[in-house]
Amino acid sequence: MRTPYDGFVRLQKRAVDEVRLSISIEVGHIVQTERAQAALEAEQEAECLAAARDPMISTHGWLRARMADQARLIATRQAHEAALDHLRVQAREAYGAQRVAENAAQLYARRIEQARPARQQAEADDLSGARMLIRLRRERWATARKKRHDAAH
């Protein structure tokens, strides 16, 4: 059954879907950042092992650059996690608004369904009353016509 709330329900579902998509994108960013961190750690470990074998190799500059990269990745992940937390709050609000809209539509439909028998009975009563009025008018017309006919003869 169509309700006046259907458009609002569709808008709320769209809002939930948009937030859901944004959440999946942020989760993807977090996963990429974690993979980059793991790759950087593996690279650092491999370089340190290689440098440990050869005392002539100095890795201080390289390690500082990798540590800066690590700090950048940590900051990026924290930013994505903060955005994800914000999106989760938005998702709760959007889902709550969607549920409110759906409940309002269901309540409206339920009330219409509950009012249907009374409306049908009222229509039946109106039709019955109209039929009775038509019958009474026909009887009056017939009586009036008969009186005019009798009076004329």
* pLDDT tens figures, 130-153: 999 999 999 889 888 888 877 876
Q: How far is CA 93 from each of CA 15, 147, 152, rounded to the nearest angstrom?
A: 10, 78, 84
| pTM of the model as a whole | 0.66
Residues 6+ apart with CB under 8 A from 74: 37
Provide the mean pLDDT of the chain: 91
pLDDT at residue number 47: 84
pLDDT at residue number 148: 81
Q: What is the mean pLDDT of residues 38-49?
A: 89
Q: Tell me the HSE value of 153 on the side-chain side, using a 13 A CA sphere.
A: 5
* pLDDT tens figures, 14-42: 999 999 999 999 999 999 999 999 999 99
pLDDT at residue number 115: 87
pLDDT at residue number 131: 92
Q: What is the mean pLDDT of residues 48-59?
A: 78
pLDDT at residue number 61: 81
pLDDT at residue number 147: 81
